[in-house]
């Protein structure tokens, strides 16, 4: 018996730009982004949003739907490759912003887009030893590439929070199988040195590394699992939706499927999960789990009893292929993703560039400002003061009272002192 995902919730930035507009501004045919990459819209972080606010908002939404769970959290892990500090983890900000129990392990895991899967597997084992407690696993990331680069249309941002616990198959939203296949390989396909705010990437090479990782992890899985029924749905890591199609092509070749079956299979077993990724863009460690939320939202309780395969890839690289079965816990999933998408504000390319630049400026010391929250934004990043990041909780009943010139700040008030 392994752990289970009991519920999940998503947070996305409050602005987006359409790929049609972006293509026009970059002098590229719109179909390259729309059909070639499979992208329609790209989420853009504004200055009040960062990896912490996205992570905290996703978890806050999860506890809104599962209020009794908060007190039982004994492990809080954030998988991210866009952490906000080289030492202090995103998880500890989330721990504070959400008022999680003090008797709790809180830390961050980094391995490019694989981090959240490492966190999920760790949490899944941990709940076996702590059956009365729950783990909070969050994938939170902001995907940034250089403006005008080939990677630019594959940006995006968001977070997915998952509640992990020990459950029988009927209570689980997704009961995870104890078998998983892994594949690690030291490559320079995508990386971000500490002196860079945007990632460096060898685009085509990274796609080959991804496919090599898929094959390696899948073969490792098959060696352990032997003959198993074909999964009803497959989720692949989604840096851009067309990559999931390429992954499924490779998977079909490995399984010896004909071209005809590949297309049929793609439509029925892969595509139903990808609709939200087309509108959010890359969420690095969260993109696989955004696809999971997309599938839950689209299929709802029809998923109960269905088998799912998941493939996670993190550049650098580490890959994992694992499976699970949907249980009655699917009833717990509260549809919210479409609403989040519908309530975003569209911006044009000039505004996207301004937002992008403004949020990078917020990463500088003494960028502190008392910005107003967007409608529906649970937490706001106020900037950095005396080298400490400052956040505001917007959802308290007295939220308006938190807005004055010197707001209540959820951060240490002690001044920074050099060691
Ligand atoms: N109509 C329809 N399709 C078009 C088109 C048009 N007018 N113009 C181009 N395309 C297709 C291309 O044929 C290609 O499809 P294919 O891969 O099936 O052949 C696709 O659009 C992309 O075009 P391409 O010229 O290969 O794009 P690019 O070199 O500008 O960059 C990436 C694509 C993915 C390499 C780039 O966006 C990138 O580096 N992204 C970040 C890295 C990443 O996400 N890696 C994934 C593994 S982790």
Which of ligand 1's atoms lies nearest the C-alpha of 246? 18
- From 29, 203, 211, 244, mutation site for ligand 1 pocket: most ligand atoms within 8 A of C-beta: 203
Average pLDDT of the segment spanning 145-155: 95
Predicted confidence (pLDDT) per residue in 269-323, tens digit: 999 999 999 999 999 999 999 999 999 999 999 999 999 999 999 999 999 999 9
CB–CB of 114/319 below 8 Å? yes
Average pLDDT of the segment spanning 203-228: 96
Average pLDDT of the segment spanning 37-49: 96
Q: Is the peptide bond before 327 cis (omega within 30 degrees of 0)?
A: no
Phi/psi-derived region of residue 38, left when phi > 0, alpha when psi is between -120 and 50, beta in every other case: left
| pLDDT surpassing 60 at residue 406 | no
Residue 226: the pLDDT is: 87
Identify each DSSP E strand in 249-387 by its residue range: 307-314, 318-326, 345-346, 379-385
Which of ligand 1's atoms lies nearest the C-alpha of 202? 39
0.85 cut: is pTM over it?
yes
Per the annotation, the verdict on 113 as an active-site residue is yes
| pLDDT surpassing 50 at residue 57 | yes
Q: Tell me the C-alpha distance between 281 and 352, whole Å.
A: 14
Residue 198: the pLDDT is: 83
Q: Tell me the C-alpha distance between 161 and 159, whole Å.
A: 7
Average pLDDT of the segment spanning 202-227: 96
Residue nearest to ligand 1 atom 38, measured at CA: 151
CB–CB of 162/332 below 8 Å? no
Per the annotation, the verdict on 390 as an active-site residue is no
CA of 295 to the centre of ligand 1 (A): 25
| pLDDT surpassing 70 at residue 401 | no
Which of ligand 1's atoms lies nearest the C-alpha of 207? 47
> For residue 223, which of 231, 215, 213, 211 has the smallest C-alpha distance?
215
Higher-confidence position of 378 and 241: 241
Residue 373: the pLDDT is: 64
Percent of the chain with pLDDT over 90: 84
Per the annotation, the verdict on 336 as an active-site residue is no
Residue 62: the pLDDT is: 96
The response to whether residue 201 sits with its C-beta less than 6 Å from ligand 1 reads yes
CA of 36 to the centre of ligand 1 (A): 6
Higher-confidence position of 199 and 92: 92
How many helices (H) and strands (E) the chain has is answered by 12, 16
> Coil, strand, or helix at residue 332?
helix
The response to whether residue 32 sits with its C-beta less than 6 Å from ligand 1 reads yes
| pLDDT surpassing 50 at residue 200 | yes
Q: Tell me the C-alpha distance between 276 and 9, whole Å.
A: 13
Residue 414: the pLDDT is: 36
| pLDDT surpassing 80 at residue 418 | no
Predicted confidence (pLDDT) per residue in 318-357, tens digit: 999 999 999 999 999 999 999 999 999 999 999 999 999 9
CB–CB of 312/319 below 8 Å? yes
369 — pLDDT class (breaks 50, 70, 90): confident
Residue 372: the pLDDT is: 63
Tell how strand 73-79 and strand 105-109 pair up. parallel
Least confident range of 117-121, 162-166, 168-172: 168-172
């Amino acid at each position: 018996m392994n752990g289970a995902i009991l519920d999940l919730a998503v947070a996305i930035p409050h602005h987006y730009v359409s790929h049609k507009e972006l293509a026009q501004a970059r002098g590229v045919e719109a179909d390259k982004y729309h059909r070639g990459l499979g992208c329609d819209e790209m989420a853009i972080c504004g200055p009040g949003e960062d990896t912490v606010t996205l992570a905290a908002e996703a978890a806050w939404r999860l506890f809104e739907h599962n209020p009794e769970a908060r007190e039982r959290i004994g492990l809080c892990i954030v998988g991210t490759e866009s952490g906000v500090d080289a030492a202090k983890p995103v998880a500890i900000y989330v721990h504070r912003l959400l008022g999680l129990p003090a008797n709790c392990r809180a830390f961050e895991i980094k391995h490019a887009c694989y981090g959240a899967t490492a966190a999920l597997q760790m949490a899944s084992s941990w709940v076996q030893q702590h059956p009365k407690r729950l783990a909070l696993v969050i994938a939170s990331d902001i995907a940034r590439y250089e403006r005008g680069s080939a990677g630019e249309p594959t940006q995006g941002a968001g977070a997915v929070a998952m509640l992990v616990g020990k459950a029988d198959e009927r209570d689980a939203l997704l009961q995870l199988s104890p078998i998983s296949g892994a594949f690690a390989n030291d490559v320079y396909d995508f990386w971000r040195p500490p002196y860079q705010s945007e990632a460096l990437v060898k685009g085509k090479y990274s796609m080959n590394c991804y496919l090599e990782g898929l094959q390696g992890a899948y073969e490792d899985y098959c060696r352990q699992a032997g003959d198993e029924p074909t999964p009803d749905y497959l989720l692949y890591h989604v840096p851009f939706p067309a990559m999931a199609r390429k992954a499924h092509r490779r998977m079909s070749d490995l399984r010896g499927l004909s071209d005809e079956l590949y297309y049929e299979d793609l439509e029925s077993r892969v595509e139903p999960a990808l609709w939200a990724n087309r509108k959010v863009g890359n969420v690095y460690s969260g993109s696989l789990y955004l696809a999971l939320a997309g599938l839950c939202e689209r299929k709802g309780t029809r998923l109960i009893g269905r088998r799912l395969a998941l493939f996670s890839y993190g550049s650098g690289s580490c890959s994992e292929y694992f499976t699970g079965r949907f249980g009655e816990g699917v009833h717990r999933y509260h549809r919210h993703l479409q609403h989040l998408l519908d309530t975003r504000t569209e911006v044009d390319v000039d505004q996207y560039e301004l937002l992008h630049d403004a949020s990078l400026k917020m990463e500088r010391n003494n960028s502190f400002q008392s910005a107003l929250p967007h409608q529906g934004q649970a937490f706001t990043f106020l900037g950095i003061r005396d080298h400490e990041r400052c956040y505001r909780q917007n959802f308290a009943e007295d939220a308006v009272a938190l807005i004055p010139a010197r707001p209540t700040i959820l951060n240490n008030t002690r001044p920074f002192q050099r060691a």
